[in-house]
């Protein structure tokens, strides 16, 4: 101050402050970049897990479609027996092991449960996030819970009473699932209630195959979108 150099020192002090502020901003930017990179990494991992789960569930339903085709072909034979009053012979027994068959999807939800724990907003693409939630919480729930509850009720009220009335299990077989053998074939094929229940089962089988097929089409499209999003994030 004695040498009248105050202005020079003020400029120096301001320069130092500016440098410190710039340093802090750069450090914050680097920290934000690292955090964003970590979140992106977690998002990619979640998307990959969801994709894997959806692929497993598609495979599950493909297996179910194949099984339901066999069951539906068998129940069509049984319905034909009733309609044509087919005389009994041992070759007819091949129609009975699977004719009542239904498929329980028993889906995998591990990736989605992990997503819920982390928070669904970790998926940054809003439209993709909505599609994933809809597929799992709506579409999969319908197939895995709502439809199966209705089928369970039908089995309890309609199917099991007729099985008790007209079938027995052949204990001579060593397989896990013993085949159903008609105990009163002639009365069975003339029973209108039995025929009516079989038509209901056949309808449920066909409806399940259609729903499984439609679900898989939607799920495959979603997988393509997830793969595109992963590529974008990487």
CA distances from 98 to 33, 45, 90, 116, 181 (A): 58, 41, 16, 38, 12
Q: Residue 80 belongs to what H/E stretch? A: helix 6-84
Separation of alpha carbons 201 and 197, rounded Å = 6
Helices 6-84/192-233 angle, 10° precision:
160
Q: What pLDDT, on the 0 to 100 scale, is given for residue 30?
A: 66
153 CB-near residues (< 8 Å, 6+ apart)? none
Domain assignments of the chain as residue spans, ordered by start = 6-233
Q: What pLDDT, on the 0 to 100 scale, is given for residue 194?
A: 96
41 CB-near residues (< 8 Å, 6+ apart)? none
Spans of the chain below 70 pLDDT: 1-13, 15, 18-20, 23, 27, 30-36, 173-177
Q: What pLDDT, on the 0 to 100 scale, is given for residue 10?
A: 64
CA distances from 221 to 116, 156, 229 (A): 22, 37, 13
Separation of alpha carbons 159 and 100, rounded Å = 8
Q: What pLDDT, on the 0 to 100 scale, is given for residue 200?
A: 95
């Amino acid at each position: 101050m004695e040498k009248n150099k105050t202005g020079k020192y003020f400029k120096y002090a301001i320069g130092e402050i500016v440098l410190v502020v710039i340093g802090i901003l750069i450090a914050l930017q680097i920290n934000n970049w690292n955090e964003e990179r970590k979140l992106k990494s977690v998002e990619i991992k979640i998307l990959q897990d969801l994709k894997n789960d959806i692929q497993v569930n598609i495979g599950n339903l493909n297996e179910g479609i194949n099984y339901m085709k066999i069951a539906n072909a068998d129940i069509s034979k049984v319905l034909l027996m009733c309609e044509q009053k087919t005389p009994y012979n041992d070759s007819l027994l091949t129609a009975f092991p699977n004719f009542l068959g239904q498929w329980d999807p028993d889906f995998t939800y591990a990736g989605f449960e992990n997503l819920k724990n982390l928070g669904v907003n970790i998926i940054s693409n809003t439209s993709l996030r909505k599609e994933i939630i809809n597929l799992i919480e709506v579409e999969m729930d319908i197939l895995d819970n709502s439809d199966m509850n209705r089928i369970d009720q039908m089995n309890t009220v309609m199917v099991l009473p007729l099985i008790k009335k007209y079938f027995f299990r052949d204990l001579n077989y060593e397989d896990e699932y013993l085949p159903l053998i008609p105990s009163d074939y002639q009365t069975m094929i003339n029973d209108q209630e039995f025929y009516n229940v079989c038509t209901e089962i056949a309808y449920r089988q066909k409806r399940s195959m259609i729903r499984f097929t439609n679900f898989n089409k939607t799920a495959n499209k979603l997988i393509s979108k997830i793969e595109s999003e992963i590529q974008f994030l990487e």
